[in-house]
Chains A and B, each alone.
Chain A
Amino acid sequence: MELENLSNLPGVSGNEQRVRDFIYKKLKGKAKHIETDAMGNLYAYFSSGRKNAKKVMLAAHMDEVGLMITGIDSSGELRFHPVGGISTSVLLAKPVRIGNEGIPGVIESKAIHLLKEEELKQYPRIEQLRIDAGFSSKEEAEKKVKLGDYAYFDTTFKREGDRFIGKAFDDRVGCSLLLDLIGEKFPLDLVLTFTVQEEVGLRGARVAGYKIFPDAAIAVEGTAAGDFPIEKDTGAFPELKKGPVLTVMDRSIIVDKKLFNHFVKTAEREKIPYQFKRPNIGGTDAGRIHLSKTGVPSMVIAVPIRYIHAPAGIMRGIDYRNTLKLLKEALKNIEEVI
């Protein structure tokens, strides 16, 4: 499992280079062929050696949400825009790293001593926030930081028993799962696809789906688990330790029924726990891939993670292992439903 290494790498949307390099090294010598495209998606081809084998694409995105530097104030404070979906509530007072050098900084937040009562009641708007890297003037800041530099959460992976804490589990967990499939034998031509720019609009997946145009596609994801106790008996989110999360419908796709049923049946047979994602929330690369050319039967499987799109998420190793197991078991005879 490469989750620790993958989680620690910076790779905000459009800047996936280091994640891609790491994955490439893991694939080298193992895949039949590896290539990238103009967008920066990475493809690794594994052949079954069988004639007329079905082509199945597994997709995980390399990018994570983060920030981009958009301006430097005369005071040396750094203005920024979010890259991907981030709420102000997770940003305040968080340590970040800026640019390729990884300059450390902190997102500004008044100490409680200085906050007025009304400020305690609501978060500032995201455009009011600045990154403070300790510079005392624009000139000083400009020596180290320039417009367009990315910033990412300064979080180091931690493991405590079966509990993992880290950043960017969405979707390095998918990347790690895909790498764990290397060496497995399936009666399929498998294309492990590591996409770019999912968090800013499923962009890499659009061209990846067009390029590969597989017989079936599976997006392997990290998905939001219930981050809070449910007070009312009106809804539930996926939970940790309850197994891989299967999507029926989200904002980007209604999944292919045959693939979905195949995964449910496989989970039942192998006694692997599974749960359903709450409908109509979020979207994944599968949303783009399934509309490629004349259509690709597609589905989504995900590991439940608390606090995604934030500096640190929490997940359980058992969910990872069960997701991997379900993927392996389901791929063995997936050709029967394609």
Chain B
Amino acid sequence: MKDLIKKLSEAFGPSGNEDEVRNIIKKEVKPYADSVKVDKLGNLIVRKKGKGKKLMFAAHMDEIGFIVSYIDKKGFLRFSNVGGLFPINLLHQRVMFKNGLVGVVGEEKRKDLKAVSPLDKLYIDIGAKSKEDAEKKVGVGEMAVFSREFRDLCDRVVGKAMDDRIGCVVLIEALKRIKNPVNDLYFVFTVQEEVGLRGARTSAFGIEPDYAIAVDVTGTGDTPEGWKSPLALGKGVAIKVKDRGMIASAYVRDRLVSIAKKKKIPYQLEVLEGGTTDGMVIEITKSGVPTGVLSVPTRYIHSPSELLDMGDVEATVKLLVEFSKERFN
């Protein structure tokens, strides 16, 4: 599983540019799927047929990134955010473009050394000597992502874009493990989550599932002087109660909890004040879809070094596999 995490974590895939990620996943799921389809927005919809209810499992392929807004006379690139890019995570980071071009984030001289420079005081330095030189390599409107290698820390792993490539891995791994599906399963790898849950909206409309589970990451409170949150790495899969955008279906949530208890899968409950997931828009698709969310507890979300526990990943896969076997009335 770690090889696949590495491959997906290091792939280039800012919102709207998920091709590379999609191609990796396509190859991976093909031998296990009854059908593989790409819809108009670019969502990858993988079906494994069964006679029961229609279940949709969703994880997003896109990651946060940078979009070039301007190239100055000296060849420095000004940029805007693609999704939730926090200035504090950016300074002197390396970024990469689709064509492999690498740049470094620099900042204008700060007036106040204690203040973090906002995005409009930052730029990307691609080593260009002039505007003309830069324009040979990159254009306004092109996107970049953090450039960062995946690292295996034994029980834990760290890399960029774990949000939400780890969700993609969970879906792929679950698909591989489910031999004879009880229910009609749709594994959906969505686009453009980070800019407004866009792919989930259109894919859910097309599938019109009976139940849905979004798989994503969630922050933890287990770091020194960290946030006040009982969520911690290594304590199992997080079953969502609520976040800023949704209250998870109590029915689905309770079902997930009782499966976890029965199968002795470690789990924790997640009550999140900020952030949301694809689950939010899936839940209110058409006449409504009872939707739950499984989160992989992750530290340093939306940074180049998102760190998580492999045991939690395993618990998430197991719970998703077991949920897929449930019989619904």
Contacts and interface: CB of A to CB of B under 8 A. Distances in A.
Interface of A: 233-236, 248-249, 254, 257, 276, 278-280, 290-297
Contact of B70 (A278, A280, A295): A278
A320 B68 CA distance: 27
Contacts of A292: 202
A201 B185 CA distance: 36
Interface stretch (B27-35, B75-83, B298-306, B307-315): B75-83
B67 A294 contact: no
Contacts of A254: 15-16, 192, 195
Q: Determine the main DSSP class of A at the interface with B.
A: loop
Contact of A280 (B39, B67, B74): B67
Contact of A291 (B74, B140, B198, B206): B198
A235 B141 contact: no
Contacts of B192: 254
Contact of B206 (A248, A276, A290, A294): A294
B140 A276 contact: yes
B203 A294 contact: yes
Contacts of B227: none
Contacts of B40: 294-297
Given A254-B192, A276-B141, A294 B202 contact: yes
Contacts of B41: 290, 295, 297
B72 A233 contact: yes
Contacts of B43: 295
Contacts of A279: 67-69, 80, 141
A249 B141 contact: yes
A49 B44 CA distance: 34
A56 to B, nearest CB: 14
B202 to A, nearest CB: 4
7 contacts: A234-B70, A235-B69, A249-B82, A249-B141, A294-B203, A294-B205, A295-B202
Nearest to A216: B40
A293 B141 contact: no
Contacts of B15: 254
B43 to A, nearest CB: 8
A280 B67 CA distance: 9
A235 B202 contact: no
Nearest to A290: B41
A212 to B, nearest CB: 14
Interface string B134-146: 0000001100000
A93 to B, nearest CB: 32
B123 to A, nearest CB: 8
A278 B79 CA distance: 10
B92 interface: no
Contacts of A295: 39-41, 43, 202
B94 interface: no
B26 interface: no
Contacts of B16: 249, 254, 257
Contacts of A235: 69-70, 78, 120
B70 A248 contact: no
A293 B67 contact: no
A116 B275 CA distance: 46
B73 interface: yes
Given A278-B69, A294-B203, 10 more contacts: A235-B70, A248-B140, A249-B16, A276-B140, A279-B80, A279-B141, A280-B69, A291-B198, A291-B201, A296-B40
Interface in B47-84: 67-70, 72-74, 78, 80-82
